[in-house]
Amino acid sequence: MKKEDSGIRKHPVVAHEQWVAARTAFLAKEKEFTRLRDELSQQRRELPWERVEKAYVFDAPNGKATLADLFAGKSQLIVYHFMFGPDDKAGCPSCSFWADNFNGIDTHLKHRDISFLAISRASLPRLEAYKQRMGWSFKWVSSNSNDFNFDFKASFTPEEVANGTADWNYSKQKPGSTEVVGISAFYKDPDGQIFHTYSCFQRGVDMMNGAYNYMDLAPKGRDEGDLRPTMAWLRRHDECED
């Protein structure tokens, strides 16, 4: 992405009429983009599904839960793959940022026939302690005792990471850690058969972060041009200096 704050100095300033003319012209481009987005979402829904054949059992707040149980009576399930490995003391800061964006929306999603939750490989007690520290209310279960994270490419073995042979975001890559961020969607048909419909990783989860979408409207944009990594500015919400 282009460095974004260089335009702040000597930015063109115009009369109201010219401002409205430029803005209205840009609105046509925005509408075209929105139509493209709707079209892309439609094409996504037309992708084929695959059957989930394996039985996965998770550690959930109310005891053991199968993947079918996690649908909680809905026909659609969204899993946020939250980077929190078995040896980590706390969840990843960037996933915590995404969680600040999705905490609270599960109430609305369940009225669209969707059960929404986060899954990580860390033990349930670690997930619950961190969730409490951050003040979140979404459901979070542990896949520590099953292959779920590996099968859905949200976790890799240390060897895969070291050798650069991880199947990350649909190509062989070398992720920075054994845990990566992602979102997976599942569908359960009226007979109880479960299908994996979609997964996305890396910048595929970018649209789901409302804060970035707000920044995209502001003069400085994301303003991450010189930062390496680009999210070097980010802190957990209770770790900001002020």
Partner 1 sequence: MKNDGGSVLKDHSVVSHEKWLKARTAFLEKEKEFTRLRDELNQRRRELPWEVVEKEYVFDGPNGRQTLDDLFDGRSQLVVYHAMFDPKSASASSSWTKDAACEQCSFWADTFNGIIVHLNHRDVTMLAVSRGPYAALNTYKGRMGWSFKWVSSGESDFNIDYQVSFTPEEMARKAGTYNYNQQPDHSEMHGISIFYKDPAGKVFHTYSSYSRGIDSLNATYQYLDLVPKGRDEGDRGPSWVCRHDEYADNAASHKGCGEQR
Residues 6+ apart with CB under 8 A from 93: 231, 234, 235, 236, 239
Q: Could you give the C-alpha distances from 67 to 136, 148, 194, in angstroms and in order?
A: 22, 9, 9
Q: Cα separation of 154 and 175, whole Å? A: 10
Under 8 Å between Cβ of 155 and 178: yes
CB of 59 to partner 1, least distance (A): 24
User: Stretches 56-64, 118-126, 174-182, 197-205: which one binds partner 1 (CB under 8 A)?
Assistant: 197-205
Interacting residues with partner 1 between 90 and 149 (CB under 8 A): 97, 100-105, 107-109, 111-114, 116
Nearer to partner 1, 101 or 123 (CB): 101
Interacting residues with partner 1 between 7 and 66 (CB under 8 A): 7-8, 11-16, 18-20, 22-24, 26-27, 29-31, 33-34, 36-38, 40-51
CB of 149 to partner 1, least distance (A): 17
CB of 87 to partner 1, least distance (A): 27
159 binds partner 1 (CB under 8 A): no
Interacting residues with partner 1 between 205 and 234 (CB under 8 A): 206-211, 213-223, 233-234
CA angle 208, 211, 214 (to 5 degrees): 110
What is the dihedral angle through the alpha carbons of 230, 235, 241, 242, rounded to the nearest 10 degrees? Answer: 110
The residue from 72, 90, 173, 196 that contacts partner 1 (CB under 8 A) is: 196
Residues in the interface with partner 1 (CB under 8 A) total: 94
Interacting residues with partner 1 between 162 and 181 (CB under 8 A): 169-171
CB of 13 to partner 1, least distance (A): 5
The residue from 142, 143, 146, 199 that contacts partner 1 (CB under 8 A) is: 199
Q: Cα separation of 74 and 76, whole Å? A: 6
240 binds partner 1 (CB under 8 A): yes
User: Stretches 5-13, 54-62, 64-72, 117-125: which one binds partner 1 (CB under 8 A)?
Assistant: 5-13
Write b or e for each residue in 149-160: b if 16 or more Cβ atoms lie within 10 A of its Cβ, otherwise e: bbebbbbbeeeb
* DSSP β-ladder status, 76-81 and 114-120: parallel
- DSSP helix/strand/coil, 146: coil
